[in-house]
Structure 1
Amino acid sequence: GRGRGRATTPPPQRSKLSPPSAALSDQSSTADLITEFEDLEVSADSSNSEYNPRSFPYSVKQQCWEKAENVKGRDPDRWRRDPLGNMVFRKLVGCPGCLCHDYDHIVPYSKGGKSTLQNCQVLQATVNRSKGNRTDISKADLIQKSSYCRVSGRDMDLIELSAYGNVRRGGDSSGGCNIQ
């Protein structure tokens, strides 16, 4: 005998939690995987979905950054201002410094806020930590919580040079002079 009940019942379908070694030892594993992938449904319409991740998807973060205010004379892919006017640097995310930012839920996630573009804002990390999940905090109070730092154009150049290996000026050529 090869084991109780195996001869009379078909083998159970492999669960998604099977260890990889089980998949590798099975001759039909590739065909099974292809079938599983063919059965997957991808829906672009999220309005009927209850899917609401705790953190913003990459594409939402991208668009959230793009909707933040530009910093005059600087590359908008690298520098933005939060709604309070604090300057933030693209690569400094999730850190506590004055140029660091978070992708903030305007209506907090814990209060039913969705991880959507409409509910996303780039916010200086210090301010976001102070805000927490409160919705009753005024803009004036948030400005008080801002971590202020004075950064010169030369400082910004050095930060860009350190992070990206070059310095790129903003696309807005309105006003100002570039003296070489």
Structure 2
Amino acid sequence: MVVAAGEVTPSKGLRESRSRFSSDVKNQCWDRARLFPNREGRDPTRWRLDAAGNPVCRALRGCVGPLCMEFDHIHPKSRGGSGSVENCQVLQSRLNRRKADEFPPPERKTLRVWSEEAGIRDFGGKELDIVELAIFGGTVQRPYVLFLNDGVMEFLPRGTRFSESDLCYHRRESNLRGIVT
């Protein structure tokens, strides 16, 4: 059987036929994505803002959730777009699927409207901390302490003082499972 380059066959499958960026281009694309504002203090190796301003987590590549991301061809590959870093942007996965092969590429304002239509919302810092805790097992320093107390998240201002006996009491009586700073 003769197969033309790029042709999808049952043995190749659809996944192999999809256009992809090289690892090097993906890393450069991630580095070019907007950082969280300084006041957020997010680890730039973990978090960025996509082209529409939505928070995305690099560990959540390829899934379809509110913090999931994909590397998007600004000028679609199907319409002659290249696999270069100049043609790459970080985009929330639902927006990337909505954008599909649209050309010319939608403006940032349009992407923001699509975000709202898709129900993608802004997350607060504490919500992102909980996600970060679940994915990475910890967060960077924050101005509050996160307790998992009987399965309920509690936030207390950093600097809240406890004596050793208070902590022992909390561990015994409240089933305190951990402190994340």
Identity %: 40
Other structure's SS at 2:72 match = strand
Whether the 8 Å contact between 1:75 and 1:169 is mirrored in structure 2 is no
1:98 maps to what in 2?
66
Aligned partners of 1:79, 1:67: CA distance in 2, in Å? 12
Aligned partners of 2:98, 2:56: CA distance in 1, in Å? 17
Aligned partners of 2:51, 2:122: CA distance in 1, in Å? 18
Deviation at 1:169, TM superposition (A): 5.3
- How has the CA–CA distance of structure 1 residues 139 and 154 changed in structure 2, closer, same or farther, with 3 Å as cutoff? closer
More strand by share: 2
The answer to whether 1:142 aligns with 2:111 is yes
The answer to whether 1:88 aligns with 2:53 is no
1:68 maps to what in 2?
33
- How has the CA–CA distance of structure 1 residues 139 and 152 changed in structure 2, closer, same or farther, with 3 Å as cutoff? closer
Size of the alignment, in residue pairs? 121
Paired AA for residue 160 in structure 1 = E
Query: Displaced runs of 4+ in structure 1, greater than 4 A?
Result: none
Structure 1: 5+ residue runs without aligned partners? 1-52, 171-177
2:164 maps to what in 1?
none
Aligned partners of 1:179, 1:76: CA distance in 2, in Å? 23
Question: Relative CO higher for 1 or 2, CA cutoff 8 Å, sep ≥ 6?
Answer: 1
Structure 2: 5+ residue runs without aligned partners? 1-17, 143-156, 160-181
Q: In structure 1, which of residues 102, 111, 115 is the aligned counterpart of residue 79 of structure 2? A: 111
The answer to whether 1:59 aligns with 2:24 is yes
Which entry has the higher C-alpha Rg, 1 or 2?
1
Aligned partners of 2:74, 2:122: CA distance in 1, in Å? 26
More helix by share: 2
